Amino acid sequence: MNERNGIVDVDITLRVDGVEHRLTVDTRTTLLDALRERLRNTSPKKGCDHGQCGSCTVLLDGERALSCLALAVAHQGADVVTAAGLADGDGPHPLQSAFVEHDAFQCGYCTPGQIVSAVGMLAEVDAGWPSAVTGDVAGGTVTLDDEEIAERMSGNLCRCAAYANIRPAIKQVAR
């Protein structure tokens, strides 16, 4: 820790899309700003910067999270996956292909957050997590219909309103 004029810098490490990075951050730096401004990974987007739009969504230690509300310093050593790191090998991730196939975007700004969020969401469904629209919260199985997808993806806004194509893109991969 290094302090100058009240501003505090801390050395941290982050594993981003499989690559280890060492960097020094002002304690005020969000994970989103560390990714975009310091590590030049512009896949997660800064939409609202207040946790209301979902465009900054990343997988943080395996679970979807908002990088704009995470302080980099509080996630030392974390494993971060952005949309840019989802692909296994040279081809796109199945959700990325499905978004292209279904035309599930217009301007594309929210898309990396939508796709990462959908990856995290499908893992939650596989783990049997219920949602606010799951009829029997105590039951063990979830049928991922349009209503379930809309509810589980409600943290990702699309100002172009591509929702009608986002839902089938996700449903195709969920099958």
Partner 1 sequence: MIPFRYERPDDAAAAVDLLSREPGGAYLGGGTNLVDLMKLEVARHDVLVDVRRLTSGTIDELPGGGLRIGAAVSNSHLAADPRVRRRYPLLAQAVLAGASGQLRNMATCGGNLLQRTRCPYFQDVTTPCNKREPGSGCSAIGGHNRDHAVLGASAECVATHPSDMGTALTALDAVVRVQGPDGARTVPFGEFHRLPGDEPERDTVLGHGELITAIDVPPLPGGARSRYRKIRDRASYAFALVSAAVALEVAGGTVREVRIGLGGVAHKPWRARTAEEALRGSPATAASFRAAAEAELAAARPLPGNGFKVPLARNVVAGMLTDLAEEQR
Part of the chain binding partner 1 (CB under 8 A), chosen from 13-21, 60-68, 104-112, 162-170: 60-68
127 lines the binding site for partner 1 (CB under 8 A): yes
Looking at the Cβ atoms of 4 and 89, the one nearer to partner 1 is 4
Q: What is the DSSP string of 95-145?
A: HHHHHHHTT--SS-TTHHHHHHHHHHHHHHHHTT---TT-S-TT-S-----
26 lines the binding site for partner 1 (CB under 8 A): yes
74 lines the binding site for partner 1 (CB under 8 A): yes
> CA 146, CA 7: separation in Å to the nearest integer?
48
Which residues touch 167 (CB under 8 Å, ≥6 apart)?
146, 149, 150, 153
> Which spans of this chain sit near partner 1 (rule: CB under 8 A)?
1, 3, 6-8, 10, 26-28, 30, 49-51, 54, 57, 60, 63-66, 69-71, 73-74, 117, 120-121, 124, 127-132, 134, 137-138, 140, 150-156
